[in-house]
Structure 1
Amino acid sequence: MAVPTTRMLVLAVVRLLQPVHGYDVRRELLSWHADDWANVKPGSIYGALNTMQRDGLVAVEGVTQEGARPERTTYRLTKEGEKVFGDMLREAIWWTEQPKNPYSAAIALLPHLPREEVIAALRGRILKFEAELVFYDREQERILAGSGDPAESEPHHVADAIRLTADHVRADLTWTRKTLERIEKGELDVWTDWQRLDGGSMTI
């Protein structure tokens, strides 16, 4: 069973910056781009803190209020939270199952779309991945140029999480380029064979 990533990352940030306010936990995780490589929904962070407080994993350190602003609740990790975080991290670091990619199903069904549309989709995919890699590479450089102190900037090891995501994108980009080249050269022609088998009746 996969580890609940949002819970683990929220516990980690509370552990790093405690006592810490929920807004700062959210800001920290967004600065790590956890919404990209860990699919952390920004709106779920406050809910995770509330649930973890109920479960005894974090405790309220204090509540302050400045003027008419809403109250600010700060949290600290409990002993139980420390234990649960350690267990989750150990399970996650040993996890080796590859995520199921729904794109694989689409590739298995290529003959059901016109060749020209598939080529256009692959070209669009290449452009998107190329832009993402420029962004990820710049973010790695920016993070590594900082101090690495969580109180000042993103920890340096966050760059490794971004690099892992970038490497997956890079592998997908390589596959897409090669597949597009094979289709354009006629080396991969699933449409001719499909039309012969299907009698040319399949249209979408």
Structure 2
Amino acid sequence: MARKRKVANLMGLAVLSAVVVKPMHRYEIAAQLRAWGKDNDMGVKWGSLYTVVDNLAKHGFLEIAGSERDGARPERTIYRITDAGRAELTDWTRELIADPEPEKRRFMAGLSVASVLPPDEVVELLTQRITKLDRTIAENRTQLAALDGTVPRLFLIEEDYELAMLAAESEWARALRDSLADGSFPDVEGWRAWHRDGVMPADIAEPAEGGADTPQSQHD
């Protein structure tokens, strides 16, 4: 189970990963994170950067190393990582890599209530999703190919993972779409009849009504 962290926002991890390289002020941190693509990897919200840096400093993960002034611009505070910050960075990274945590995804939520739509409409919606996924996969592969030889592979591991996950989702969605379209999906005809006639077939209704008797509830 993931441990409770003093700064739980993934922006905190991103900031620590930047400042561990060298002391930086907030503008440098933001520029470095953008250059690394961390806004894509971690869903970084730039508006929270100031608050996250302040919280990291408050909890002893960062400390002020000095300040600098560039012309007429306001003075900028430079932060460096502390020993506690290094420990937090490495521990957090280990947890994220080693400990799988269930993630509630929008797609999963949609699938869980897909029965409210006719199966033929679900086929069309899945086709739209597959088209968008395949477009994203192609774009990501092109971007990775452009970086080949210019960025060490070590810093592209997360991009490889993202590609693998997108490809797996596209393959799974395609298999579901095709099974609905060709009628091989179990109960698809009953599902279709339900939306055509407005009456849920008994073989679907009975398991749905017994849904409260789940493995989890049996253990309660």
- State the TM bucket, normalised to the shorter chain: 0.7 to 0.9
Against the structure 1 CA distance between its residues 191 and 200, is the aligned structure 2 distance closer, same or farther, given a 3 Å change threshold? farther
Aligned residue type for 1:168: M
Contact preservation (8 Å) 2:183, 2:189: no
Distance 2:187 2:110 in 1: 13
Partner of 1:53: 57
Against the structure 1 CA distance between its residues 182 and 147, is the aligned structure 2 distance closer, same or farther, given a 3 Å change threshold? closer
Query: Bigger CA drift: 84-93 or 178-187?
Result: 84-93
Matched residue SS, 2:70 = coil
Unaligned runs of 5+ in 2: 201-220
Distance 1:95 1:121 in 2: 33
Distance 1:77 1:170 in 2: 37
Residue 177 of structure 1 is aligned with which of 174, 177, 183?
174
Aligned residue type for 1:67: G
Paired positions, count: 194
For CA contacts below 8 A with separation 6 or more, give which structure has more relative contact order: 1
1:192 to 2:197 alignment: no
Q: TM-score, normalised by structure 2?
A: 0.76
Contact preservation (8 Å) 1:110, 1:118: yes
The Cα of 1:179 is off from its aligned counterpart by 1.4
Kindly, what percent of the aligned residue pairs are identical? 25
Matched residue SS, 2:79 = strand
C-alpha RMSD of the superposition: 2.5
Residue 20 of structure 2 is aligned with which of 15, 33, 52?
15
Unaligned runs of 5+ in 1: 149-155
Q: TM-score, normalised by structure 1?
A: 0.81
Contact preservation (8 Å) 1:57, 1:82: yes
Residue 35 of structure 1 is aligned with which of 34, 39, 42?
39
Rg (Cα) greater in structure: 2
Distance 2:121 2:147 in 1: 39
Partner of 1:79: 83
4+ runs of 1 displaced by more than 6 Å?
A: none
Against the structure 1 CA distance between its residues 83 and 42, is the aligned structure 2 distance closer, same or farther, given a 3 Å change threshold? same
Partner of 1:128: 132
The Cα of 1:33 is off from its aligned counterpart by 2.5
Distance 2:136 2:86 in 1: 35
Partner of 1:163: 160
Matched residue SS, 2:78 = strand
Contact preservation (8 Å) 2:67, 2:75: yes
Distance 1:158 1:186 in 2: 44
The Cα of 1:13 is off from its aligned counterpart by 0.9
